[in-house]
């Protein structure tokens, strides 16, 4: 396993670069997931705009040659100070992080003089570029953009809302762990619940999309396939880092039909997992990530990656065939809920109890999502909001 990029470079290339410990493998794949989701959502927004179902776009008014504002300089100065105060010292001497870069980055430790130096450099660069682009008389201009122009902001809303929701739901699911180490639970890059990210991130995107005039049901359909893809790539990060989202113990012999596949695809011990869970590995002296699981477990993140990517392929292939907006997202909810409900049967999770019934948080939410998916499909079929403007209406966009 590769908790961070230090382990990747050490294993693949024989290079030990301490600074690479700051690049968390799970966080890297989460970032990749958001980028991929953003790209596919942008493609869908462009297609739907071309099909004439997202209105006539937006007129942006902006100034050409206008000087930077005081807030622009303040932002540049603060950004430069943080980089100089925290990141530059870490580049020069990674040992100051004491093997825990996350704690260092959120502490008060840093280099004040380097912070001031980098802040001054950034302010100087901004002043130089500002003077070059200024005009004696600033000119106000107008630009027509389609909804995909706002994809960067939508992705940011999804990123912030998704991370906050994922962390919040994990804390609610593991209150005992949070009570023991509240700050550690908050700043840890592990311990993120997918459904929390889906719910809060989805609400953030829908809210922002409505402000930009993007119809609710169409925005849902844009997000469905992209979120399934993001889930699949995000689970790669879970598997590679060994973040604890694995399955229950698997001591059964590998089935005959899997004989041609590597043993780890059936049962895996997650060596060097990021949470340092299990027993020490023989000959390993790294105090942070030297454990592996005994007994081995089902590699459920790997299974979910395969299932999510397959479901993404299905959603992407049928998206143009459905007649009414909202239907695609309803199908996504049913698929997502069913996949997660089934994987919970062999996955380690916190068990909850209500009225004598035992279940996991994910089983509860996935059941609700499947129900909501069916309701949304029925609602969409009754509302009959078309996914493509009829050319005869004369309102289509060429």
Least confident of 20-24, 76-80, 391-395: 391-395
Q: What 8-state DSSP symbol labels residue 54?
A: S
**Residue 175 pLDDT:** 72
Average pLDDT over residues 259-274: 94
pLDDT for 375: 97
Strands 279-280 and 291-292: antiparallel
Highest mean pLDDT among 109-113, 313-317, 339-343: 313-317
Please give the share of the chain, as a percent, with pLDDT higher than 70: 91
Q: Are 216 and 206 in contact (CB under 8 A)?
A: yes
Instruction: Assign 267 a pLDDT band (cuts: 50, 70, 90).
Output: very high
Answer yes or no: is pLDDT of 101 > 80: no
The CB-side HSE value for 175 (13 A sphere, CA atoms) comes to 3
CA distance 319 to 52: 16
| Residue 383 reports pLDDT greater than 60 | yes
Does residue 396 carry a pLDDT above 60? no
Q: How many CB atoms lie within 10 A of CB 336?
A: 25
pLDDT in tens, 130-169: 999 999 999 999 988 899 998 888 888 888 888 888 778 7
**Interval 352-374: pLDDT, tens:** 777 777 778 788 889 999 999 99
| pLDDT band (50, 70, 90) for residue 183 | low
Across the range 226-249, mean pLDDT stands at 92
Beta strand 357-360 with 279-280 is unpaired
Q: Give the pLDDT band of residue 398 (cuts 50, 70, 90).
A: very low
Name every residue whose Cβ is closer than 8 Å to that of residue 326 and which is 6 or more positions away in sequence.
Answer: 217, 220, 221, 376, 377, 379, 380, 383, 385
pLDDT of residue 187: 59
DSSP for 353-375, written as a single string: EETTEEEEHHHHHHHHHHHHHHH
pLDDT tens per residue across span 291-340: 999 999 999 999 999 999 999 999 999 999 999 999 999 999 999 999 99
Taking the CA atoms of 331, 337, 340 and 344 in sequence, report the sign of the dihedral they define. Answer: negative
Considering only CA atoms, which of 270, 338, 350, 256 is closest in space to residue 302?
A: 270
* Rg, C-alpha atoms of the chain: 25
Q: Name the nearest CA neighbour of 331 among 347, 317, 348.
A: 317
Contact criterion met (CB below 8 Å) for 215 and 51: no
3-state secondary structure of 386: strand
User: What local confidence, expressed as pLDDT, does residue 163 receive?
Assistant: 80
Per-residue confidence at 99, pLDDT binned at 50, 70, 90?
low
Cα–Cα distance, 97 to 100 (Å, whole number): 5
- Residues 20-69: tens digit of each pLDDT: 888 889 889 988 998 999 999 999 999 999 988 888 888 888 889 999 99
Residue 213: the pLDDT is: 85
Q: What is the DSSP letter of 69?
A: P
Query: For residue 157, what pLDDT is reported?
Result: 87
Looking at per-residue confidence, does 348 or 251 come out higher? 251
Only one residue has tokens 């997650």, namely: 270
pTM of the full predicted structure? Answer: 0.81
Say if residue 394's pLDDT is above 60.
Answer: no
DSSP assignments along 243-307, one per residue: -S--B-B--SPPPGGGTTS-GGGT-B--TT-TT--SEEPTT---SSS-EE-SS-B--HHHHHHHH
């Amino acid at each position: 396993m590769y908790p961070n990029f230090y382990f990747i470079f050490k294993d693949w290339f024989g290079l030990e670069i301490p600074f690479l410990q700051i690049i968390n493998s799970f966080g890297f794949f989460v970032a990749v997931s958001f980028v991929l989701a953003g790209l596919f959502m942008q493609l869908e927004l462009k297609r739907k705009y071309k099909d004439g179902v997202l209105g006539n776009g937006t007129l942006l008014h902006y100034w050409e040659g206008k000087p930077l504002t005081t807030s622009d300089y303040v932002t540049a100065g603060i950004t430069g100070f943080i980089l100089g105060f925290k990141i530059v010292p870490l580049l020069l001497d990674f040992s100051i992080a004491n093997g825990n870069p996350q704690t260092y980055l959120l502490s008060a430790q840093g280099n004040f003089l380097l912070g001031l130096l980098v802040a001054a450099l950034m302010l100087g660069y901004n002043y130089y570029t500002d003077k070059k682009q200024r005009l004696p008389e600033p000119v106000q201009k107008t630009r027509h953009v389609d909804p995909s122009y706002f994809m960067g902001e939508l992705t940011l809303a999804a990123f912030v809302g998704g991370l906050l929701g994922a962390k919040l739901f994990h804390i609610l699911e593991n209150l005992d762990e949070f009570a023991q180490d509240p700050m550690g639970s908050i700043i840890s890059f592990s311990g993120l619940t997918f459904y929390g990210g889906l719910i809060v991130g989805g609400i953030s995107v829908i809210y922002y999309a409505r402000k930009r005039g993007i119809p609710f049901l169409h925005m849902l359909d844009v997000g469905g396939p992209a979120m399934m893809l993001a889930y699949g790539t995000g689970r790669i990060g879970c598997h590679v880092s060994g973040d604890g989202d694995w399955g229950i113990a698997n001591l059964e012999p590998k089935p005959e039909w899997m004989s041609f596949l590597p043993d780890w695809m059936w049962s895996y011990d997650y060596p060097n997992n990021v949470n340092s869970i299990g027993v020490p590995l023989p000959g390993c002296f790294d105090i942070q990530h030297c454990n592996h699981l005994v007994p081995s477990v089902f590699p459920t993140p790997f299974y979910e990656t395969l299932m999510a990517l397959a479901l993404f392929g299905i959603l992407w292939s049928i998206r143009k065939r459905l007649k009414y907006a909202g239907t695609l997202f309803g199908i996504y909810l049913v698929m997502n809920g069913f996949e997660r409900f089934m994987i919970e049967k062999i996955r380690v999770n916190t068990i909850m109890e209500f009225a004598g019934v035992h279940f996991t948080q994910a089983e509860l939410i996935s059941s609700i999502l499947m129900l909501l998916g069916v309701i949304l499909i029925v609602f969409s079929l009754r509302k009959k909001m078309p996914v493509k403007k009829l050319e005869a209406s004369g309102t289509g966009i060429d």
